[in-house]
Structure 1
């Protein structure tokens, strides 16, 4: 199934008349309002090739890929919001829009109910179109922009929004609940964002998806983390434990009292030399860090139990005498006891609170790892520096324990409630690798998608229901990419996205619609799969297939010809002086002195050399034009001497062959 076409009857501000968008399906569709219904006609899309974008061996198939193109501020994001509005719960959170949507499903076309009766008219036949089962289709929206596009009148507008805005909000929502750093100050919001983003990145880079599919290594030059710092952070806890089952609250008080007693005893393990210098600082830090980890672990459990009071009287320990079993043991054994012996008994439901084997494995691995650290500068009372493998294993085990905690509260219709989500007690910050903005852009997209699927769609952590079709709406996801990366953007996403959905109970098919203001990506997209937006006065319009302003060719087109298309360089974009200078620079960068002047090879009028060309490019402020000029500059100058000589030899040989041919004739 694929979304093939949209008819926008009305938009709150974008258009002043109805508009039709075709996304490059098997047919191109045309709409007409006839009294109280909509008549649809169609023609065969000669550029459509079945399974054209399905290039992987994954079970998840890419049904279709399309692009929405236009300058900034013209309404590309608004078009994506039109599509999103069909599938979100709070439609009022987005601009008011009335649309009719056509889906192609094998030999049949269907519509999503929009309140109108929709007929397909072909020849003398008229057929009323059936409705799509909308519950099995869902959009996933991604934008790297931090544009604060947030409607304060609604919460949870789109549960399938994995954009930067959404993740920033999510990453910071528990900041006030977390304890301070070692200096007693609250962690800075930027530091919190680094923790969360780095954890997502390392989780993706250590995942089976990344490790088992060579395409990621082929496409990405992402440097591998070698080491990093883990920060152990606890929730601020109200000692009243209002919603914690009473017997567990009693136990936590006992456990925290024991931790305090043990922390006070750190002075007893110090060792000195004759100059009274401490000899075992790493051992002291390890001793304090162990108790910090126990405290952090308990704080996460309490935070989860405090959310609802449904088990206030139902908690119990499966031992005859709690005090006799726990009075003479240390804090670590008390934690182990809690994890192994705590139960809930509510009505006909009796269950063990923790899968203690998972928790034991996490705690034991952390403690075994930190006890091996003998460098006092790599450990403190709340953090430790470790290598990539150790960090990956700890974060994997940490996630497993959190999944157990998600299930503390009963599910609803097989789905976990959003309130069941609890943040962990570990933060991560890399120490050795700093990515370029382009590398970060690509890795952030993949890591957010991986986090979203793993947290919401897998059976063990299912907060959201199964879908048969996901429509990716990527809003300028290539933002920040180097021009070289922009050119392989389409190749990257169609070769990688299906693998993220391989382990779902119902493996969905995918469709991708992306927006861009840059033509560099369009060489991989058939022209009938491109929607062109253009400004017309105060409003925007969709260019029809026969519009003279619409570029004629995209797929397989020369990138430099696309860059020069008038659609992408408006007359009003620049001042006349700047425009004239830049146009002459383009002539200089594209002129070939070895060829005669033609309409395609026009000589420049100014005085140019490599340095002056580079200087002008550096001062151009419009990023799209700057990227195009840089691409032409690279093509002209950034070839090796060997390549230049080989090119010259080839050109001379071609001339020689032409002369020889004339002599023969």
Structure 2
């Protein structure tokens, strides 16, 4: 199934808007005559984007023009959620099994050139919702609606909701089985579940990539080479000296100066102890920790001083760490955190096995490991992340981040990470076989550097066509970027503007420019994207203030020119504007100021002459 056209009578501030979302046909609804006309798009090219992509439509609009609202309308229309809207004056046209159908609550007349295109009416729009799987993607997060029940309360029905706003709740609820709207939950608890799931989704994407690349299919975006796992030591001034003693005693006790991987595991153990003490403090309060739990550091130190390290056949320090946990922290007085201790032990055990594989490199400071993703067992890595995030609720002691470099800070740009998360979320969803997909993506260019915006459509289409090659896919994206528009043919674009407090669909750019392959700078200059030209608002106002100030003067002395105006004029980058402002100054100045301006102009002319001479010499040498 493919959606072709929607007529919206009224919905959240959008009134009487016709939305062409077909690349193959053009529709126009005459409300007065209740007549829907349909023609073939002259420039339609079958399989233009990919064999599996039936159409790709970009809804481009300025802020506040209603792009997101239109997507929301489509999602709600197709969902069987509890609040799907009842716009009884709407018209929906779609194509299924090579036949075009339409649904309308009222009678309309259908026209086409020579009556060449036939439309069949359906009487039950509920059937439409079963014809395709709707997918909603968005990276936006609105904290003002963070506690809204909108997303988990069934409003979007069976829609595959991959928006950040939804996943912040759904990931927690799916991981814990608890109500995500429980007011006692902290942001940390919700975000930690979301962070864990996002990381796992990316790991699963990388597993799929390894499989595809082994078959000769390259991923459109360079995947990260490493997952770096670094340690976070919680600040704890009360036990600072004791914890430093524990660190020194642990090094001496384990006596593993030659084994970097075991050194790292000891650091993990110490970080978990720091975490444990902070956890107790958070739950019990400073008074109780000082009286009861304050004994933990001294008990651990006492263990190191009074016991000898037992070598283990697997050459790992983890079994000994288990003994320490059991002999000290499993006592009745610490029973309040027994579950958490068990989780720490389980994580240490998994990490111990993982660290001793050949896919792991240890940093010089022994506080970070780099997992070589091409060598790592992704299933084991996924289990490791899962186990850690069971313990990470209040204060984490391990940080996971993807990178192109080992032992360094994350070298993934925000754009690369945004692209990875989009692909990872799409890769993670379960969809019915043979059922068409309608993918709706809001603010496609969000968080992307201009270079990534230029490449977004290419990479997105490449991924969809590879990952969902056996599906029929329709894509609708919203954006406000000429970088996106430059990759979309004009018959695949819906332009929105805000006019008289309602949304208006614009047939084309005011300059009548074509979009596909168009010069991005020229698209920028169109007033559809930027009012008041390409100049930044701050500089525009500064220049306006400068011109106004010069205009208030009857006379500008040399001293005032140099102290008040000269530097402000010199920093202007547009030569024509700078020249005109200097003319304004000259008109209100004496000869001394004009001489200064002439000197400056002569220097500029001399520089141009030198450039001209150099170009002439270069030309003579090549001829």
Q: TM-score range by the shorter chain?
A: 0.5 to 0.7
Counterpart in the other structure of 2:378: 392
CA apart distance, 1:576:
7.6
**Which one of 495, 509, 515 corresponds to residue 554 of structure 1?**
515
Cα–Cα, structure 1 residues 45 and 141, in superposed 2: closer, same or farther, change >3 Å?
A: same
Matched, 1:168 2:135: no
| Helix, strand or coil at the partner of 2:160 | coil
Q: Does 1:475 align with 2:471?
A: no
**Aligned match of 2:492:** 529
Shift of 1:85: 1.6
Q: Is the CA contact 1:551–1:565 (under 8 Å) kept in the aligned structure 2?
A: no
Shift of 1:108: 3.2
Q: Structure 2 residue aligned with 1:51, among 26, 47, 50?
A: 47
CA displacement 1:591-630 (0-9 Å, x = unmatched): xxxxxxxxxxx9633279xxxxxxxxxxxxxxxxxxxxxx
8 Å Cα contact 1:535-1:541 kept in structure 2: yes
Q: Distance in 1 between matches of 2:318 and 2:350?
A: 18
Alignment of 1:62-81 (within 5 A): 62-81=53-72
Distance, in Å, in 2 between the alignment partners of 1:397 and 1:19 is: 49
- Please give the alpha-carbon distance, in whole angstroms, between the structure 1 residues aligned to 2:154 and 2:189: 25
Matches within 5 A, 1:49-448: 49-54=45-50, 61-90=52-81, 92=83, 98-105=89-96, 108-111=99-102, 113-122=103-112, 125=115, 129-131=120-122, 133-148=128-143, 151-152=148-149, 155-158=153-156, 159-173=159-173, 189-208=190-209, 211-212=212-213, 219-228=220-229, 282-285=318-321, 369=354, 388=373, 389-390=375-376, 392-395=378-381, 429-430=399-400, 433=403, 434=410, 435-448=412-425
Deviates more, 1:128-137 or 1:530-539: 128-137
* 1:460-609 → structure 2 map (5 Å cutoff): 465-466=432-433, 468-501=435-468, 507-545=470-508, 549=510, 551-571=512-532, 578-579=539-540, 604-606=576-578
Do 1:8 and 1:19's aligned partners in 2 also have CA atoms closer than 8 Å?
yes
Structure 2 residue matching 1:524: 3-state secondary structure: coil
Q: How many angstroms does 1:77 deviate by?
A: 0.3
CA distance in 2: counterparts of 1:116 and 1:558, whole angstroms: 44
| Greater Cα radius of gyration, structure 1 or 2 | 2
What is the CA distance between 1:229 and its match in structure 2?
A: 7.2
Which digits, 9 at most, give the CA deviation of each residue in 1:23-54, with x for residues without a partner? 3422211113477xx53212221121111111
In structure 2, what is the Cα distance between the partners aligned to 1:290 and 1:387? 33
Task: Look up the match of 2:26.
Answer: 28
Alignment deviations for residues 304-324 of structure 1 (CA, whole Å, 9 cap, x no partner):
xxxxxxxxxxxxxxxxxxxxx
SS at match of 2:577: coil
Q: How far did residue 81 of structure 1 move?
A: 1.0
- Over 3 Å counting, the alpha-carbon distance change for 1:222 and 1:128 in structure 2 is closer
SS at match of 1:207: helix
Secondary structure of 1:533 counterpart? strand
TM-score (norm. length: structure 2):
0.59
TM-superposed deviation, 1:368: 5.4
Structure 1 residues 119, 424: CA separation in 2 closer, same or farther (over 3 Å shift)? farther
SS at structure 2 position matched to 1:54: coil
Find the aligned partners of 2:89 and 2:226 in 1 and give their Cα distance.
48
Distance 2:118 2:218 in 1: 50
Distance 2:361 2:483 in 1: 52
Residue in structure 2 matched with residue 352 of structure 1 by the alignment? none
What secondary structure, in the 3-state scheme, does the structure 2 residue paired with 1:86 have? helix
Q: Which moved more, 1:214-223 or 1:154-163?
A: 214-223
On the 8 A contact 1:227/1:432 being kept in 2, the answer is yes
Q: What are the Cα deviations for residues 424-471 of structure 1, in whole angstroms up to 9, with x where unaligned? A: 9598842563222111111111111122x2xx33xxxxxxx5562111
8 Å contact from structure 1 (residues 8, 98) kept in 2: yes
RMSD: 5.3
How far has the Cα of 1:483 moved from its partner? Answer: 0.7
Q: Within 1, Cα distance between the matches of 2:365 and 2:318?
A: 8
Summarize the Cα distance change of 1:228–1:440 in structure 2 as closer, same or farther, 3 Å threshold: same
Following superposition, the deviation at residue 219 of structure 1 comes to 3.0
Measure, in 1, the Cα distance between the counterparts of 2:365 and 2:323.
14
Give the superposition deviation at 1:130: 3.5
Q: Distance in 1 between matches of 2:618 and 2:543?
A: 28
User: 1: CA distance between counterparts of 2:216 and 2:492?
Assistant: 25
Q: Give the aligned partner of residue 626 of structure 1.
A: none
Instruction: Note the C-alpha offset of 1:88.
Output: 1.0
Give distance in 1, aligned partners of 2:90 and 2:576: 49
Q: Report the CA distance between 1:391 and its aligned residue.
A: 5.7
TM-score by length of 1: 0.55
